[in-house]
Amino acid sequence: MSTNNGIHHLAVATADIKTQIDFFNDVLGCELVALYWMHGVEGAWHGFMKLSDTCSIAFVQTPDVPGIERTLGVTHAGSGGGPCAGGAMQHVAFNVDSLDDLLAMRDRIRSRNITVFGPLDHGMCHSIYFAGPEDLSLEVAFSEQPIDGRAWIDPEVVGLAGISADELERYRNPEPFESTGTPVPQPEFDPSLPWQRGIPQELYEAIITMPDEVLTETMSESTPPVLVDG
């Protein structure tokens, strides 16, 4: 069955990639594993800070970002409970494997003169909260066991969200998908459905109508900036 099994990377825009790299390295102990010209984006840098072998927090710096104002309640939430624009990152929570690890991370953060509060016991997880550069709202969390939907899906909120009983059953039991080995054709472009509106529509339509093998051949950039033996 085809399904997702984790976050590969979460990309955050930055006006100062060095400051973000330094913070995540020193305060959170993350290893820098990639820093290169972002593929296909003129003037952009892409940096990856390792969380695990398959998961990173990533940063994107473009020449335009320094001129975009950060506004709490619009572009940034400013806290783990604050509002911001739909589709924007409200906060990100990193995982640790035990309560002892969570307390050690709290102490590490404080040892770098960054204020952090918690842990708070949310039942489904224990969490600590703090801020990162450029008003990032950050959390580190630990769950003793997988989240049990029988206990943590509130019927009142289900109703307020307009979710029917049939929809809830489907949400709790996603329809499996088995690949037949034959690629599914690209659907017709429908601008009323989600699409990457940061790309000019004419260019976007040209990209999505390319045969997959042509797109892979013409737009891929797989050579790293530094060639390593072995």
Stretches in the chain below the pLDDT threshold 50:
none
Integer CA distances (angstroms), 122 to 104, 119, 145, 191, 207, in order: 19, 9, 13, 40, 45
What pLDDT sits at residue 2?
Answer: 66
Query: 50 in a domain, yes or no?
Result: yes
CA 51 to CA 57: how far, in whole Å?
7
What pLDDT sits at residue 229?
Answer: 86
Query: 30 in a domain, yes or no?
Result: yes
**What's the structural domain count of the chain?**
1
Query: 36 in a domain, yes or no?
Result: yes
Residue among 160, 141, 38 at smallest CA distance from 97:
141
What pLDDT sits at residue 45?
Answer: 97
What pLDDT sits at residue 5?
Answer: 84
* CATH number of the domain that residue 30 is part of: 3.10.180.10
Query: 16 in a domain, yes or no?
Result: yes
Q: What is the DSSP string of 16-70?
A: -HHHHHHHHHHTT-PEEEEEEEPTTSTT-EEEEEEEETTEEEEEEE-TTGGGSPP
What pLDDT sits at residue 193?
Answer: 92
| Sheet of strand 126-132, all strands in order from the earlier edge strand to the far edge | 92-95, 136-142, 126-132, 117-121
Domain that residue 50 falls in: 8-63
What pLDDT sits at residue 1?
Answer: 56
